[in-house]
Amino acid sequence: MPAQRHKRVLLKLSGEALMGEDSYGINRSTIVRMTEEVSSVVRLGVQLAIVIGGGNIFRGVAPGAQGMDRATADYMGMMATVMNALALQDALKHQKVDARVQSALKIEQVVEPYIRPKALRYLEESKVVIFAAGTGNPFFTTDTAAALRGAEMGAEIVLKATKVDGIYSADPNKDPSATRYSRISFDEVIARRLEVMDATAFALCRDQKLPIRVFSINKHGALQRAIDGEDEGTLVHV
């Protein structure tokens, strides 16, 4: 029996995923490839919301933020996510996909403020909703924002898109013997301190019984397979 496709999904997309092989910024061919995959699932009727990070431009805990007030650095990181969100919206426009950006920080000359009922209406109208600026609060990561927005939007699953194809017992780049988990519980992830997402995000999704699938955005067709409920990456469950 084939797996059932998820109808409403929250995709957490890291800023680093937009870099491709570049050392910083946005790689054009990478963002085009990603938006092609996004457009293909949207055309199948999937309601898709995206939370995007800003680590390719700036983040509060980056080396460049040393000596800077953490809250100030985090606000700068939030603005970096707005830049990424606008770039993603523009790339989706070229794929003929209607997308709206909503920001937790009020920058109304550039993007809409986050309004939950409006975001829900956009999803029901088959528009992609891109959430920028995290939660709007310092000290909270965009992973936590993904868990929060996923719960608020009534998503069936949070898809965490990374450069690694799942959660491993150790860093696969350092330990060739590291094994990938196909499925793992929230409690196990937290107890073993497997830091693919922060503990606050894991705890929030666990409490809301909102599963997370961690997969590689660099694998062709991986987003489609994750949405279709196939054995792609690692499923984190209650």
Query: What residue numbers does the annotated binding site for UMP cover?
Result: 54, 74, 135-142
- Outline where the chain has alpha helix (H): 28-42, 70-94, 116-124, 142-153, 186-191, 199-207, 222-227
| CA distance linking residue 121 with residue 119, whole number of Å | 5
Q: What is the dihedral of CA 24, 105, 198, 4, to 10 degrees?
A: -90
Binding site residues for ATP, as ranges? 12-15, 55, 59, 162, 168, 171
DSSP β-ladder status, 99-103 and 47-52: unpaired
| CA distance linking residue 190 with residue 159, whole number of Å | 18
Task: List beta partners, residue 184.
Answer: 236
Binding site residues, as ranges? 12-15, 54-55, 59, 74, 135-142, 162, 168, 171
